[in-house]
Amino acid sequence: MQMDDMIIISVDDHAIEPPEAFIRHYPAGKKDRAPHIVQDNGKDIWLWNGQRYPTIGLNAVVGRPRSEYGMEPSAFDQLRPGTYDPKLRVDDMNANGVLASLNFPTMPGFAGGTFVGMAQKAPDEALLACRAWNDWHVQEWCAAAPGRFIPMCLVPMWDMDETLKELKRMSDLGVHAVSFSDNPANIGLPSIHNEYWEPFWAACSDYKMVINCHIGTGARAMHPSSESPIDAWITAMPISIANSAADWTFATFWQRYPELRMALSEGGIGWIPYFLERADFTHEHHHEWTHTDFRGERPSDLFKRHIICCFIDDQFGVKNLEYMNEDMVAYECDYPHSDTVWPNVPEYLWASVNGLPRETIDKITHKNVMREYGFDAFGLNGGRENCTVAHLRELGKDVDVSPRHNLGGLKTESMDAIGKAKRPVTSGDIERMFASA
């Protein structure tokens, strides 16, 4: 097998909602209530129900020189068009050798946390926005290129009756993925151990919907201090989901829903072997007084059966697949965020998987995703031969992937001073940058 023979599906990318995404899918007579873009001192910001959301493209820096990365952009003209235009996204995917992509939201938060916050004061408005985002995502974003996008929905988590209705509506449209907080207790909702979620687990199991938990949607990587280099926070960010992974692993609902699946999105896999070893050690040494019951199994058995692990660039993790379940490992590109290796995904991925058996490579690059997400990539794209890195890159050979300089992103006086002084950026610098927005 050669690099160009790979078929790559990413289960973690991000879409930037275009200015009229919500408006087009609000009911007649209510369109003036939809989230929409307004101008504010050269920045494009979302305005919704009297509240402003200043960052439209959090960390959507794909295509910039790495020296110009940051936590903005703050205007659409600073974005690579493939971030918000699905047809141009396909062009970027072709140039990157990536066949298909699952995309998390941006304005709503990766799991709809923005809607959850609004629901505390205006649940009807939050519900309208949630439905509108789903319709935009399925009917516009995914429909623009059937076979190239894996549809995923949000749910109004604050209202279980409406959540079940929306799951059914999306399932009827062929959706097999739902974005969900990795720790809903941290965003003002019941914990995953609360009986409130029982109907949700049942519905996801019945509809064969993978629950996708992106880092930062509940448990967050903490800034060690305002003086800490921001590199420390970026380094710990993927592994921060380990706390939630433990919480999910020791939950009891898995025993009631053997077909239920979830994904730890953007969490990496290199830490998984030790995590599973520690979970098994904990159960063996402590279950007699903690009264956890895995019915004769180990926590690692449950984890390997139910939880999909995903990685961007993780050579150590790939070398230790024997300590995981290679049937539940998948690839992620993270376009358009700063961790993405676009447009060189095949090269980075091949450096990790070269030397593995072809069947193992096929599993973690596309077969596992096709099975767990009910995604017929070959049928939707006219055959396997149309899905390879070589074929896609031929389609995308004329796409301009040369670096494009930032046209003037979100800056503050302190950030400008840092640039001139060439000193390390700190967590406090980033926090002040957002506060100024």
Tokens of 378: 């070959």
In tens, the pLDDT along 275-330 reads 999 999 999 999 999 999 999 999 999 999 999 999 999 999 999 999 999 999 99
In tens, the pLDDT along 106-118 reads 999 999 999 999 9
For residue 416, what pLDDT is reported? Answer: 57
CA distances from 376 to 178, 366, 384 (A): 18, 10, 10
In this prediction, residue 410 has a pLDDT band, given cuts at 50, 70 and 90, of very low
pLDDT for 349 beyond 90:
yes
Q: What's the mean pLDDT when you consider all of the chain? A: 94
In tens, the pLDDT along 45-80 reads 999 999 999 889 989 999 999 988 887 889 999 999
For residue 72, what pLDDT is reported? Answer: 80
Starting at the earlier edge strand, list the strands of the sheet with 149-150: 149-150, 98-104, 8-14, 329-331, 307-311, 262-265, 210-214, 177-179
For residue 407, what pLDDT is reported? Answer: 53
Tokens of 11: 């289960």
Give the H or E element holding residue 256.
Answer: helix 253-256
The residue assigned the tokens 């003209």 is 77
For residue 421, what pLDDT is reported? Answer: 56
Q: Which CATH superfamily is domain 3-436 in?
A: Metal-dependent hydrolases (3.20.20.140)
pLDDT for 412 beyond 50:
no
In angstroms, the CA 333 to CA 351 distance is 15
For residue 430, what pLDDT is reported? Answer: 83
Q: Which residues contact 362 (CB under 8 A, 6 or more apart)?
A: 7
For residue 314, what pLDDT is reported? Answer: 96
The residue assigned the tokens 């959706």 is 175
pLDDT for 417 beyond 70:
no
In tens, the pLDDT along 146-160 reads 999 999 999 999 999
Question: How is the chain split into domains, by residue range?
Answer: 3-436
User: Based on the number of CB atoms within 10 Å of its own CB, is 301 exposed (0-12), middle (13-18) or buried (19 or more)?
Assistant: middle
Q: Which residues contact 73 (CB under 8 A, 6 or more apart)?
A: 56, 57, 60, 61, 79, 406, 409, 410
In this prediction, residue 7 has a pLDDT band, given cuts at 50, 70 and 90, of very high
